[in-house]
Structure 1
Amino acid sequence: MNTNNPPSTGTGRSEAEELLSAPAEWDLPLSRHLHYKDVLMQQIDNDRTASAASAQESPAPRRRFSRRMVLVPVASMALAGALAVTFSAGDHHTSTPATGSSTQAAKANGASVTLDRIAAVAMKTDATPVRDDQFVYVRSLVQSNEGAFDGPVRLSAPYKREFWRSQKPGPVATTGWIRETGKGAVMSGQLVPVEGEAVPAGIDHPTYKWLASLPTDPDALLKLLYAQVRVEEGRSKDQAVFSEIGNLLGETIMPPANAAAFYKAAGKIPCVTEIPDAVDAAGRHGIAITRRDAASATRDEWIFDKKSLAFLGSRSYITKDKAKGITSDTLYGSDAILQRTVVDEHGKAPATKTNS
């Protein structure tokens, strides 16, 4: 995305910024999607398995899936049907407004207009081209579900996440590195590679050059996304594409025309609506573009500054679970993008805040 770093609110430093600059004794995550968090858990599983084998003990206990439920707009985890989470009554709930078809149509029209405005701003925003030997650096503040997979949702305190996205065209097995710092971090302070099967630049490894090669016509772009985005079980294709667009807008840098095309394409996805006020993990208020998915009983939000229309962050909700009596939205993840820039080396934070 070709956006400047999101603006701070107020004249003083926010509580989130104070936390980020605080000493490490407070014990100190927007991942692109669940894969990043899963990488951390795989590392832990491997360590446990190795230790158990060497000590000739029983295998490590089954993984708790709660750590995988860090927010990204895509973090719905195919929760419909197979969802085994129990939600604490009254915790993290917001009422779900009753809407008729006319109201929904009005909201959808409002979202399309707002996304067109955001696209117009994106077209006027400079983006620094990223070389193959560089990295896109994103620093964010995250709240994630730290409860057990089959237990109540328990949001963590805000903690820091840094992500260095590789720009090598590949195929590459390591597409980036992450470092999470805070009480909710699985391996706090450790730099962990994002590894998997070797992939070329593409939907699973979105480099600046690949993004720049995509169609800038919204209809052509949307057709490509519907063809390439994979759908998790229990999730609709529309939601998968909406979430993938959010992932790309949140943790990449792309040319202005491509960013504008993504926003306009999002406005063409069915059931995308606007919310007049939403809050990111850093406490910043903005307008939200959201989509509620009946198939997976989830709702994703993208939050934008009300004045500058800069991308601030995102939130994810579980919308219902009839088996457990859940009838209103339950927040299970939130993030705030605090910095986005280009760096020459992974593992090191930029010396200063630089606009993308």
Structure 2
Amino acid sequence: MNAAQSSSSGRPQPNDVEELARLLPQPMEFDLPAGRHLHYKDILMQQIDHDRDATAPHATAPPAPSLRRRLLRPVVLVPAASLALAGTLVLTLTGGAGNTPASSLESTPRAVTALHRIADASLKTDVTPVKDSQYVYIRSLVQENTGTFTGPVKLGKSHKSERWMSQDPIPVTVVGWTRDTGKDAQMAGEDLPIEVGVPDGSDSSGAEAPGFDRPTYRWLASLPTDPGELLKLLAAHSQVGEHESKDQAVFEMIGDILSTNLMPAQNAAAFYRAMAEIPGVREVPDAVDTAGRHGIGITREDDSSASRDVWIFDKHSLTLLGARWYLKKPGEASALAGSAAILQSGVVDQHGMVPEKDGDNSAAG
């Protein structure tokens, strides 16, 4: 920069700005669907507040909920260019040495007994194997928080959410498709890709292979069915958020996997028995999903946790009905931040198709 182009105050002049703009590379252009800007603005503002609180004298940063991907919950769809920024923010917000130690809470006998009953019931489920070329279909009724992260919880109206998750055994950048109905009039009924685009070091394109972040039927079938071995594997791969224990992270991870995938009966039973071995699980005698169905709830919460999940099961068949999730700020009671009811699941040959009935491979419309 030419020093003669700057004022005596040291502030850049218009010519300086124009020169810098000319030298910088042109920014990438992409279209972000309406409403998605707010999500990333919230994440960015949360990080700014976190940094500011950390540097302020005697500041105590409030616990932040884990930002791990919630598969049962609404998916934020963005192009790869913006995912790179989002991935950096998520790693900053959920990683680090601020994690609480493993919980010393004791599980309630009722919760452990209920989980073993649920595991026994799942062994009686007739699950049709899913082919690599097919899609796992999940239709849910979802109610979510429409408020900002730092503001009060504001529940929006319930809407239908459909997912078609790819079972392709090779790394892919489009891991599935989603369609929300009754949520956003601008995108009502539109099928949108669920994309990944942040390179993980194994593939320069950012394509994701089957694994913990992208569980497929074949991959899930390869997991150990011994609950203890499975629990060790889950603990080794769980992402622990700030103010969250390893036990809490594994509990939430198991719930997310069970609620959004199809797997052999013996693998599902192993997941439920592994959940029963996590310290601190407890039963909620009467929990209600978004569709108003009452069931048995299984939950867990560390004292320092800023979020809590409740997984809801039918009181008679013990099948998974859905979930409720709560947020808790320091000095405040937990607030319901969203819920989901699983209405249908099955297998189809193409995304956009709907199974005729649960587990049926034939698709209509």
Give the CA deviation at 1:71.
Answer: 6.6
Matches within 5 A, 1:43-122: 46-47=30-31, 63-65=40-42, 105=106, 108-122=108-122
Instruction: Tell me how far apart the structure 2 counterparts of residues 182 and 207 of structure 1 sit (CA, whole Å).
Output: 28
* 1:354 partnered with 2:361: no
Q: 1:284 aligns with which of 276, 293, 312?
A: 293
Deviations 1:252-284 (A, max 9, x none): 000010000000000111111001000001000
1:11 alignment counterpart: none
Shift of 1:70: 10
> Aligned partners of 1:294, 1:185: CA distance in 2, in Å?
40
For the residues of structure 2 that align with 1:185 and 1:275, how far apart are their CA atoms?
Answer: 36
Q: Distance in 2 between matches of 1:125 and 1:186?
A: 39
Q: Which has the higher contact order (CA 8 A, sep 6+)?
A: 1
Query: CA 1:109/1:168 → structure 2, altered by over 3 Å: closer, same or farther?
Result: same
CA 1:108/1:185 → structure 2, altered by over 3 Å: closer, same or farther? farther
Match of 1:203 in 2: 212
Cα offset, 1:230, TM superposition: 1.8
In structure 1, the partner of 2:128 is 128
Conserved? CA contact 1:314–1:334, under 8 Å: yes
> 1:70, 1:145 within 8 Å by CA — same for their partners in 2?
no
Match of residue 249 from structure 2: 240
Q: 1:174 aligns to what? A: 174
Q: SS where residue 293 of structure 1 aligns?
A: coil
Partner residue, 1:332 = 337
Mapped contact 1:73–1:246 kept (Cα < 8 A): no
Aligned to 1:344: 349
One-letter amino acid of the counterpart of residue 337, structure 2: Y
Cα distance in structure 1, aligned partners of 2:339 and 2:124: 28
SS of equivalent residue, structure 2 residue 173: strand
Deviations 1:260-318 (A, max 9, x none): 00000001111110010000010000000001133332211000000110100001011
**8 Å Cα contact 2:251-2:278 kept in structure 1:** yes
* Structure 2 contact 132–169 (Cα < 8 Å) conserved: yes
| 1:156 aligned residue | 156
**Residue 320 of structure 1: CA displacement?**
3.7
Secondary structure at 1:346 match in 2:
coil
Partner of 1:6: none
- Taking a change above 3 Å as real, the CA distance of residues 186 and 130 of structure 1, as seen in their structure-2 partners, is farther
Report how many aligned residue pairs link the two structures: 273
Query: In the alignment, which residue of structure 1 is the partner of 2:324?
Result: 315
**Deviations, residues 154-213 of structure 1 (Å, cap 9, x unaligned):** 111110100001001111111111111113588432211111121211101101010000
**In structure 1, C-alpha distance between the alignment counterparts of 2:233 and 2:183, rounded to whole Å:** 40
Give the gaps of 5 or more residues in structure 1.
Answer: 1-44, 52-59, 84-100
The 1:195–1:279 alpha-carbon spacing in structure 2 relative to 1, beyond 3 Å, is same
8 Å CA contact retained: 1:74, 1:243: no
Indicate the percent of aligned positions where both proteins have the same amino acid.
51
Distance 1:297 1:175 in 2: 29
Larger Rg: 2
In the superposition, relative to structure 1, how do residues 177 and 72 fare at CA in structure 2: closer, same or farther (>3 Å)? closer
- Deviation of the 1:69 alpha carbon: 11
The Cα offsets for residues 17-60 of structure 1, whole Å up to 9 and x where unpaired, read as xxxxxxxxxxxxxxxxxxxxxxxxxxxx94259x9xxxxxxxx8
Tell me the CA shift for residue 148 of structure 1.
2.1
Q: Is the CA contact (8 Å cut-off) linking 1:69 and 1:332 kept in structure 2?
A: no
Structure 1 CA distance, aligned partners of 2:170 and 2:113? Answer: 38
Q: Is the 8 A contact 1:71 1:316 kept in 2?
A: no
What SS does structure 1 have at the residue aligned with 2:153?
coil
Larger deviation, residues 115-124 vs 191-200: 191-200
Whether contact under 8 Å (2:73, 2:142) holds in the other structure is no
**CA deviation string 1:58-111 (max 9, x = no partner):** xx8884549x99976799xx99xx89xxxxxxxxxxxxxxxxx9xx75x62111
Letter of the aligned partner of 1:148 in structure 2? Answer: T
Q: Give me the CA root mean square deviation.
A: 3.0
Q: Which amino acid aligns with 2:181?
A: T
Question: CA 1:135–1:72 in 2, change beyond 3 Å: closer, same or farther?
Answer: closer
Q: TM-score, normalised by structure 2?
A: 0.68
For the pair 1:251 / 2:260, whether they are aligned, the reply is yes
In the alignment, is the contact (CA less than 8 A) between 1:278 and 1:285 conserved in 2? yes
User: Cα 1:185–1:281, aligned 2, differ >3 Å: closer, same or farther?
Assistant: farther
SS of 2:301's equivalent?
A: strand
Number of the residue aligned with 2:239: 230
Aligned-pair CA distance for 1:240: 1.3
